[in-house]
Structure 1
Amino acid sequence: MPSSTFAGRNIKYVVLDITGVLKESGPGGGHAISGSIDAIKRLYKNGFQVRFCTNETVMTRHTLVQQLKNMGFVIDEIKVFPPIPAVCKVLSDRKLRPHLLVHPDSLQDFEGVDCSNPNCVVLGDATEQFSYENLNKAFQCLMQLEKPILFSLGKGKYYQEKGNLVLDVGSYTAALEYATGVTAEIVGKPSPTFFGAVLQDMGATASETVMVGDDIVSDVGGAQACGMAGVLVRTGKFRPRDENHPNVKPDAIVDNLAQFVDNLLANMA
């Protein structure tokens, strides 16, 4: 298996965020970031194992992959890890019936999940569905349960959409945590369990893996907490102050995914 000396490590495996790294969000799914399509092809060509780890919950995994393919990306659906399939497995294993506060376009991925007489709440990036009425229903559901359980599909504070920063699911999760006293279980980045599932799928060790993302906390910090190298790109939701974050220090900061791949391939063994 090929490897590269990067950030003082022997890197064999690459995990990539999607929105903000491969593409910018926008109408019809957005557009590919310059150089990112070719960057993925170069990773494949040089034999690196690649997976895609995203907190995307506004659409189904199939729709997301189709959007990427329409932009020109070569990507297999089974190599994309979003939170919804992961939380569905948790719900099944623990025999939980969720009250869902998620985006309508993502509901297809919850097909077959029993939502009758809910005994937990699942919060995704519901965008316009995050009304007072809907948040209050989720709050009331939790308050009525003897042992309330709240799942949050990621815990991002904000992301970039159509050139503007917008509130992410973590902000609404924090409101419900504050109101109910319940600590949410995070399914998605930066959860160690979520990153662990990606590593397991590749048969990878964390020390030989690098995560590339535009979120200094969820992508970079989450990956580093699991033992992976974390690389921050200056695309997507990146802001200059991220380079001097008080708690998270990236192993590298690059202008974009293409520059990261340039650096990785330049140091191949």
Structure 2
Amino acid sequence: MARGVLLDLSGVLYDGDTVLPGAVAAVSRLRAADLPLRFLTNTTRQSKRQLVTQLQRFGFDCAADEVFTPVAAARAWLEANGHQPHLLVHPALEEDFADGRMDGPIAVVVGDAAERFSYGRLNAAFRALMAGAPLLALARNRFFRDRDGELSLDAGPFVQALEHASGIKAKLFGKPSADFFRAAAASMSLDPADVAMIGDDAESDTAGALAAGVGTAILVRSGKYREGDENRFAPAPTETIANVTAACDFILAARGS
């Protein structure tokens, strides 16, 4: 029985600028059942401030400390290890690093840089790696569902290209990093086994959550989901369900709510 819920954002609660049917009501029902919530995202084309503003504009009851992005963990690593970032990220994400460490040796930080994934910028990151910089990946998702409804390349292929060229393995800070899921559970004072994850990505969301010890992982057939995804990655999701409304029903039924 879940005592807290982790929710992916894009593809679960909204697609682009469109709130998915029933999503606001589903979040409200989970809160009414006294379930603490955390909103987990690998999205790195928006700052945390922009994400929180967007969620609130869409009608979701959401506080800033409930939103988990990979940036906070990456910044903590930079500070603890005495590095400053060499950023290969979307321009909107730069504000999340603006007041961070700006001295010490370089660490290459890669997010979804979109059009900034030019040869020149990738090569500059490669050269920093060859000079000894570590590689920090804010996410390594293969693709995402873009605003036009089609799939687009995410950060993962570019992270893998830098790994291949440099021979350096990236340190991952977003999903499916076990530390990411466990930190979100710990922020609710819960063990991962007492938490349910709802996501549209069978690799990063559900398989990643279960590998991290999360008790229940629900894959929704919205967003980036493609037929058969539930059978492509291990561990397989606990349940594969139509949408976030059905996922909410499943969680609340298990609680007897």
Contact 1:160 1:166 in 2 (8 A): yes
Which residue in 2 is equivalent to 1:149? 134
Which residue in 2 is equivalent to 1:251? 238
Which residue in 2 is equivalent to 1:166? 152
Q: Are residues 96 and 149 of structure 1, via their aligned partners in 2, closer, same or farther at CA, if it must alter by over 3 Å?
A: same
Does residue 221 in structure 1 map to residue 207 in structure 2? yes
Superposed CA deviations along residues 158-198 of structure 1, whole A, max 9, x for unmatched, are 11002111111111000000000000000111111111111
Superposed CA deviations along residues 177-230 of structure 1, whole A, max 9, x for unmatched, are 000000000011111111111111011111111111011111001100011121
Does residue 16 in structure 1 map to residue 7 in structure 2? yes
Identical columns (%): 38
Which residue in 2 is equivalent to 1:236? 223
1:69 deviates by 1.1
Which residue in 2 is equivalent to 1:134? 121
Moved more, 200-209 or 107-116: 107-116
Contact 2:202 2:233 in 1 (8 A): no
Distance 2:181 2:234 in 1: 20
Structure 1 residue runs without a partner (length 5+)? 1-9
After TM superposition, the score normalised by the length of structure 1 is 0.91
Contact 2:130 2:166 in 1 (8 A): yes
Which residue in 2 is equivalent to 1:5? none
Does residue 95 in structure 1 map to residue 82 in structure 2? yes
Match 2:249 to one of 250, 259, 262: 262
Paired letter, 1:156: N
Q: Are residues 197 and 267 of structure 1, via their aligned partners in 2, closer, same or farther at CA, if it must alter by over 3 Å?
A: closer
Paired letter, 1:233: V
Match 1:45 to one of 1, 25, 32: 32
Paired letter, 1:123: V
Contact 1:216 1:248 in 2 (8 A): no
Give SS of 1:11's match.
Answer: coil
Distance 2:211 2:134 in 1: 25
1:249 deviates by 1.0
Give SS of 2:255's match.
Answer: coil
Which residue in 2 is equivalent to 1:60? 47
Paired letter, 1:131: S
Distance 1:77 1:39 in 2: 19
Distance 1:116 1:100 in 2: 14
After TM superposition, the score normalised by the length of structure 2 is 0.95
Contact 2:109 2:135 in 1 (8 A): yes
Give the length in aligned residue pairs: 254
Distance 2:87 2:202 in 1: 28
Give SS of 1:232's match.
Answer: strand
CA RMSD of aligned residues (A): 1.3
Paired letter, 2:43: E
Which residue in 2 is equivalent to 1:6? none
Structure 2 residue runs without a partner (length 5+)? none
Q: Are residues 178 and 206 of structure 1, via their aligned partners in 2, closer, same or farther at CA, if it must alter by over 3 Å?
A: same
Distance 2:129 2:242 in 1: 43
1:255 deviates by 0.6
1:114 deviates by 3.5
Which residue in 2 is equivalent to 1:186? 172
